[in-house]
Amino acid sequence: MTFSPQLEARFEKLLTSYPPGRQRSAMVPMLLYAQDEVGSITEELVEEVARRVGVTPMQVEEVLSYYSMLHRKPLGKYHVQICTNISCLLTGGAELWQHACRKLALGHKEVTADGQISLEEVECIGACSWAPALQVNYDFHHNVTPEKLDQLLDSLRKAQ
């Protein structure tokens, strides 16, 4: 499997970041960074990562199925993760979630037909004092109101 030069460079750095004989430590970072580029953890990617860190594909499967951010099916280009945990719940996070679902006609972990946007109801993302909050891919949005959410979703629909 071929990756971009930047990703390859990242992989290379990873493999030297751990003590000798401990390349397995690179597995989770590798999977996450590769997922960012490839879109999802495919069978091919599982075997590639297994090969690079020196484990069996099954050991990769065991790990990838444990972590919430690793997924086998591609999500949208813009993955909107709305937190509804306690601090966001108290400040309107659940309502934001329902609003987003209705507006995009999507459910949890579903993708729009054009693959542009997907939604996920997530656990605490660490923005509790500026709630309700959400992430689009890795970018934080704080103090989100229904209006701000509308603006955001509209802009994501059109974004490249």
The single residue among 3, 24, 47, 74 that binds another protein, judged by CB under 8 A, is 24
* Distance between CA atoms of residues 82 and 72, nearest Å: 20
Tell me how many degrees the CA angle 118-107-42 measures, rounded to the nearest 5: 50
Q: Which of 6, 8, 12, 22 binds another protein (CB under 8 A)?
A: 22
> Which of 140, 121, 131, 125 lies closest to 89 in space, CA to CA?
131
Q: Does 68 sit near another protein (CB under 8 A)?
A: yes
Element (H, E) at 139: strand 139-141
Please choose, out of 1-9, 78-86, 111-119, 148-156, the segment that lies near another protein by the rule CB under 8 A. 78-86
Residues 79-98 as x/- pattern, contact with another protein by CB under 8 A: --x--xxxx-xxx--xx--x
| Interaction between residue 62 and another protein (CB under 8 A) | yes
Q: How many residues bind another protein (CB under 8 A)?
A: 53
Residue 37 or 154: which CB sits closer to another protein? 37
Which residue of 28, 45, 136, 144 would you call a contact of another protein, by CB under 8 A? 28
Helix 93-104 with 146-158: angle, nearest 10 deg = 40
Position 102 contacts another protein (CB under 8 A): no
Which contacts of 25-31 are long-range, i.e. CB under 8 A and separated by 24 or more positions? 26/52, 26/53, 27/53, 27/55, 27/60, 27/63, 28/63, 28/67, 31/60, 31/63, 31/64, 31/70
By CB under 8 A, name the binding residues for another protein.
17-19, 22, 24-29, 31-33, 53, 55-59, 61-63, 65-70, 81, 84-87, 89-91, 94-95, 98, 123-131, 135, 138-140, 142
